[in-house]
Amino acid sequence: MFDPYYLQQLAIGLSLGMTYALMAIGFTLIFGVLNVVNFAHGEIYTLGAFAGLVLISATAPPIVAVILGALAIGALAGFSLERLAFKPFRRFTDEASLKSRAMRESTLLSSLAVSIVVREALEIVFGSQMRSIPFEYLINTPVRVGPVILVTGDFIIFGVAAAMLIGLQYLLTRTRVGLAIRAVSNNPLGAKYVGIDTDRTIITTFVVGSMMGAAAGILMGLYYGAVFPAMGFTPGIKAFVAMVMGGLSSIPGAVICALILGISESMATTFVSSGWSDMVAYGFLILTLIFFPNGLFGARRERV
Amino acid sequence: MKLRLLTLTTLAVAGIAGSAFAADTVKLGYQLPLTGDTAQYGQDFRKAAEIALTEFNAAGKPFKVEIVFEDSRSDAKEGTNIARKFVDDKEIVGVLGDFTSGVSMAAAQVYKEAGMPQLSQTASHPDYTKISKYQFRNIATQAQEGPYNAKWMASKGLKTVAVIAEQTDWGQSVVSGFSDAVKADGGKVVFSEFFNRGLKDYRSLISKLERAKPDAIYTGFFYEDGAQFLKQLHQLGVKTPVYSTSAAYSPKLIELAGEAAEGMHLTSNFLPTDPSPNVQHFVEEWKKRSDGAVPGQFPAQAYDAVRIMLAAVEKAQPNPTREKVRDALAQTKDFPGVTGKTSFSADREAEKELVKVEVKGGAFVPVKD
């Protein structure tokens, strides 16, 4: 008889992986697919969670309105982030600058700077304490499925992640906007020459990706019941690992790798001390980089 | 020659005048995390220190005290840098902090060399006060709390215990302080593991822990990790009783965990509901500065630590030096603080009275057994 203990661990791993995937989807859209180095996604996630928290404590609206509010803040944050940290580096439109990798990669620092400013600002405004979300909003009522216990949030997160994944795949492969995004990521200069409005494409991608980041943030806030300024850091790292493992440009790849990460972490807890389970993520990252430099699901492409 | 003598005299006079001026304001250093992962604690300590300092300076003493706050971000390297900075500032006669045992101990090496008295409100690692005669603390150590809790659990007939604690110097002292005492009382530790601070999901760990079928779970965590742990324990339907140290004693724990915190047992040396005027005064001041929130045990310890240090500075008057402040600190006896009466033992440990507390009906309630 199969030990229900392992089934429970598997379920926990899947639900953990799903939370990583939720973050990884928006992250991969901007960082991987659009090919723009962006380290401020974790703060978008935090902003989404705080937007939800503020809405809840101010007006106590229904949960759908909370999520819509977070999405609006996410869109605004994505737009402003692009304006602040990315647009200034596209000021020069000559061929040399457009081709310059240094120009492209300098957003590593500018986005990191924005992320630090946002985090510290949140700390000044809200304090660094963990803030609780009223219990009636939380999505962690236990649900028993056979020998396994999950919570309602696991199903909601699964639904949202699946919807995001399918929606994005549709957008990227079947629509003109998706075509434009892929064109800009592949060759910004070429895209410009054939008449694609690169600025607009980039802004659109940032807005869509950041809305997903903000949605992930508020969902995680409702799932774990705690919101605090530093909350975006760990999920950001996990999403980064999932994205690199998945081959950077592949959103389904990132999702699958996020699930693999979650399951391996929870399974690893059985055999090694929980203190070491974080090592699994970094171990996978190193192994992937050594043996599959293009990721497990990535296409061959020159990379940052 | 004459000119040189004159210059020297002038310099000497200026020097005396300078030190006479310095005697009017005494400087203390406070190293604490004001940003980063543990900023919430440091911010609270600063608030507590400001309450204590404002009261002290308003009391019409012949001298004023100034506290220099420096942000260590709970980083040992940063903590050591601050320690050097404080040591180099000749006007600073005593230092408070740091928050974590790890950083306090790293900084203590600098203070030991320089002969600077250091009083931490929270560093509870057993080795901290062993560093030199300059290290003091205002918190019960795990060497004190562990056996106390082990006896408590043994008296409730809980024989097999699972122990989990955060992976830090402090967490290790929780496990060792408790486990040895359990064995001495005839109990058994059936599971023992460390987790990383800030872990989000404890469900894997909980499932693993429950496989050992313990009578009770003893935990070494702070309120953030504690709240997540309790909530997920509740989610998984685990009914095993949970015991914890005074580190988890914070109103935030109940706020974050809600009904999942019900029935949790822990120890404490500060009860905001204590009717004594001393405690009520502090609670009122705190509420005024924190939108009506009630202080937890750590801010209370910080408040007392600052007042103990201020009392020592006052005792070391006139012209307090680092050595005089250290000696005055060492003589602290029955200091009437909000965390009970504090005396320093010969090895500079605060002898604290612990209270048994249980979470009942969404509040910390003192219990007899």
Chain A residues with CB inside 8 Å of B237's CB? 142, 149
Q: Is residue B158 part of a domain?
A: yes
Angle, CA A276 vertex, CA A270 and CA A279 arms, to 5°: 115
- Rounded Cα distance between A75 and A93, Å, is 26
We report the CATH number of the domain holding residue B126 as 3.40.50.2300
Share of chain A above pLDDT 90, in %: 58
Q: Is the pLDDT of residue B61 over 60?
A: yes
- Rounded Cα distance between A178 and A269, Å, is 40
Burial class, B352, CB count within 10 angstroms (exposed 0-12 / middle 13-18 / buried 19+): buried
Q: How many domains does chain B have?
A: 2
Selected residues 232-261 of chain B with any CB under 8 Å from a CB in chain A: 235-237, 252, 255-256, 258-259
B118, B162: one domain: no
Residue B21: pLDDT band by 50, 70, 90 thresholds? very low
Q: Is residue B7 part of a domain?
A: no
- Rounded Cα distance between A161 and B157, Å, is 47
Chain B residues with CB inside 8 Å of A13's CB? 204
Element containing residue A172 per DSSP (H, E): helix A152-174
Residue B27: pLDDT band by 50, 70, 90 thresholds? very high
Q: Is the pLDDT of residue B39 over 50?
A: yes
- Rounded Cα distance between A173 and A103, Å, is 28
Phi, psi of B26 (to 5 degrees): -100, 135
Whether B206 contacts A266, CB under 8 Å: no
- Rounded Cα distance between B39 and A128, Å, is 6
Distance from CA of A12 to the nearest CA of B (A): 7
Distance from CA of A226 to the nearest CA of B (A): 7
Burial class, A192, CB count within 10 angstroms (exposed 0-12 / middle 13-18 / buried 19+): middle
Whether A261 contacts A284, CB under 8 Å: yes
Q: How far apart are the first and last CA of chain A?
A: 49
B258, B289: one domain: no
The alpha carbons of chain A give a radius of gyration, in whole angstroms, of: 19
Whether B148 contacts B267, CB under 8 Å: yes
Contact B36 A12 (CB under 8 A): no
- Rounded Cα distance between A185 and A165, Å, is 19
What DSSP designation does A227 have? E
- The number of beta carbons lying within 10 Å of the beta carbon of residue B9 is 10
- Rounded Cα distance between B369 and B348, Å, is 30
pLDDT one-digit tens code per residue, B134-150: 999 998 888 888 999 99
Selected residues 214-233 of chain A with any CB under 8 Å from a CB in chain B: 224-226, 228, 230
Q: Is residue B56 part of a domain?
A: yes
Distance from CA of B289 to the nearest CA of A (A): 13
Distance from CA of B184 to the nearest CA of A (A): 26
B133, B186: one domain: no
- Token pair for residue A215? 């949605």
Q: Is A152 on the interface with B (CB under 8 A)?
A: no
B131, B169: one domain: no
Distance from CA of B302 to the nearest CA of A (A): 17
3-state secondary structure at position A148: strand
Q: Is the pLDDT of residue A102 over 50?
A: yes
Domain limits, chain A: 19-227
Query: Which among B41, B169, B192, B200 is the top mutation candidate for probing chain A, defined by the most A β-carbons within 10 Å of its own β-carbon?
Result: B200
Chain A residues with CB inside 8 Å of B193's CB? 273-275
Contact A9 B204 (CB under 8 A): yes
Chain A residues with CB inside 8 Å of B73's CB? none
Last residue in a domain, options B203, B234, B268: B268
pLDDT one-digit tens code per residue, A193-232: 899 998 999 999 999 999 999 999 999 999 999 999 989 9
pLDDT one-digit tens code per residue, B77-120: 999 999 999 999 999 999 998 999 999 999 999 999 999 999 99
B169, B207: one domain: yes
Instruction: Give the per-residue pLDDT at B20.
Output: 43
Q: What's the mean pLDDT in A111-134?
A: 90
Mean confidence (pLDDT) of chain B? 89
In this complex, which of B199, B228, B252 lies closest to A129 when CB atoms are compared?
A: B252
In this complex, which of B35, B200, B204 lies closest to A269 when CB atoms are compared?
A: B204
In this complex, which of B224, B236, B258 lies closest to A135 when CB atoms are compared?
A: B258
In this complex, which of B35, B196, B208 lies closest to A275 when CB atoms are compared?
A: B196
Q: Is residue B112 part of a domain?
A: yes
Residue A20: pLDDT band by 50, 70, 90 thresholds? very high
Q: What's the mean pLDDT in B227-234?
A: 94
Instruction: Give the per-residue pLDDT at A300.
Output: 52
- Rounded Cα distance between B350 and B355, Å, is 15
B107, B211: one domain: no
Beta bridge partners of B66: B27
What residue numbers bound the domain in which B217 lies? 143-268
Contact A269 B39 (CB under 8 A): no
Phi, psi of A154 (to 5 degrees): -60, -40
Phi, psi of B346 (to 5 degrees): -60, -30
Chain A residues with CB inside 8 Å of B167's CB? 275
- Rounded Cα distance between A159 and A164, Å, is 9
Q: Is the pLDDT of residue B367 over 80?
A: yes
Q: Are strands B242-244 and B265-268 parallel, antiparallel or unpaired?
A: parallel
B153, B198: one domain: yes
Instruction: Give the per-residue pLDDT at B342.
Output: 87
Chain A residues with CB inside 8 Å of B236's CB? 142, 149
Q: Which residues of B145-177 are buried (b: 16+ CB within 10 A; e: fewer)?
A: bbbbbbebbbeeebbebbbbbbbbbbbbbbbbb
- Rounded Cα distance between A118 and A229, Å, is 9
pLDDT one-digit tens code per residue, A56-99: 999 889 999 999 999 999 999 999 999 999 998 888 777 777 77
Q: Is A129 on the interface with B (CB under 8 A)?
A: yes
Element containing residue A142 per DSSP (H, E): strand A142-145
Residue A101: pLDDT band by 50, 70, 90 thresholds? confident
Q: Is residue B350 part of a domain?
A: no
Distance from CA of B40 to the nearest CA of A (A): 5
- Rounded Cα distance between B323 and A290, Å, is 58
- Rounded Cα distance between A11 and B339, Å, is 45
Mean confidence (pLDDT) of chain A? 89
Share of chain A above pLDDT 70, in %: 97
pLDDT one-digit tens code per residue, B158-172: 999 999 999 988 899
Q: Is B204 on the interface with A (CB under 8 A)?
A: yes
B299, B257: one domain: no
Instruction: Give the per-residue pLDDT at B114.
Output: 93
Instruction: Give the per-residue pLDDT at B124.
Output: 82
Whether A295 contacts A245, CB under 8 Å: yes
Q: Is B351 on the interface with A (CB under 8 A)?
A: no
Q: What's the mean pLDDT in B306-316?
A: 94
- Token pair for residue B240? 């095993």
Q: CA A183, A76, A108, A276 torsion: positive or negative?
A: negative
Q: Is A57 on the interface with B (CB under 8 A)?
A: no
Contact A273 B194 (CB under 8 A): yes
Q: Is residue B335 part of a domain?
A: yes
Chain B residue with CA closest to A235: the answer is B200
- Rounded Cα distance between A107 and B104, Å, is 37
Last residue in a domain, options B213, B238, B268: B268
Chain B residue with CA closest to A274: the answer is B195
Q: Is A130 on the interface with B (CB under 8 A)?
A: yes
Q: Is the pLDDT of residue B357 over 60?
A: yes
Chain B residues with CB inside 8 Å of A228's CB? 224
Query: Which among B34, B163, B164, B208 is the top mutation candidate for probing chain A, defined by the most A β-carbons within 10 Å of its own β-carbon?
Result: B208
Q: Is A22 on the interface with B (CB under 8 A)?
A: no
Share of chain B above pLDDT 70, in %: 94
B122, B147: one domain: no
Q: Which residues contact B144 (CB under 8 A, 6 or more apart)?
A: B177, B349, B352, B354
Secondary structure of chain B in the HEC alphabet?
CHHHHHHHHHHHHHHHHHHHHHHHEEEEEEEECCCCCCHHHHHHHHHHHHHHHHHHHHCCCCCEEEEEEEECCCCHHHHHHHHHHHHHCCCEEEEECCCCHHHHHHHHHHHHHHCCCEEECCCCCCCHHHCCCCEEECCCCHHHHHHHHHHHHHHCCCCEEEEEEECCHHHHHHHHHHHHHHHHCCCEEEEEEEECCCCCCCHHHHHHHHHCCCCEEEEECCHHHHHHHHHHHHHCCCCCCEEECHHHCCHHHHHHHHHHHCCCEEEECCCCCCCCHHHHHHHHHHHHHCCCCCCCHHHHHHHHHHHHHHHHHHHCCCCCCHHHHHHHHHCCCCEEECCEEECECCCCCECCCCEEEEEECCEEEECCC
B310, B251: one domain: no
B112, B220: one domain: no
**What interhelical angle do A198-224 and A41-59 show, nearest 10?**
60
Angle, CA B118 vertex, CA B113 and CA B120 arms, to 5°: 140
Chain B residues with CB inside 8 Å of A145's CB? none
Instruction: Give the per-residue pLDDT at A299.
Output: 61
Give the position of tokens 């935030």: B252
- Rounded Cα distance between B83 and B79, Å, is 6
Q: Which of B121, B114, B184, B117 is CA-nearest to residue B148?
A: B184
What DSSP designation does A301 have? -
Q: Is A278 on the interface with B (CB under 8 A)?
A: yes
Chain A residues with CB inside 8 Å of B195's CB? 274-275
Q: CA B305, B306, B308, B312 torsion: positive or negative?
A: positive
Contact B252 A130 (CB under 8 A): yes
Chain A residues with CB inside 8 Å of B207's CB? 5, 8-9, 12
pLDDT one-digit tens code per residue, A260-285: 999 999 888 888 888 788 788 888 88
- Rounded Cα distance between B262 and A303, Å, is 52
Contact A226 B167 (CB under 8 A): no
Give the position of tokens 């990721």: A295
B237, B325: one domain: no
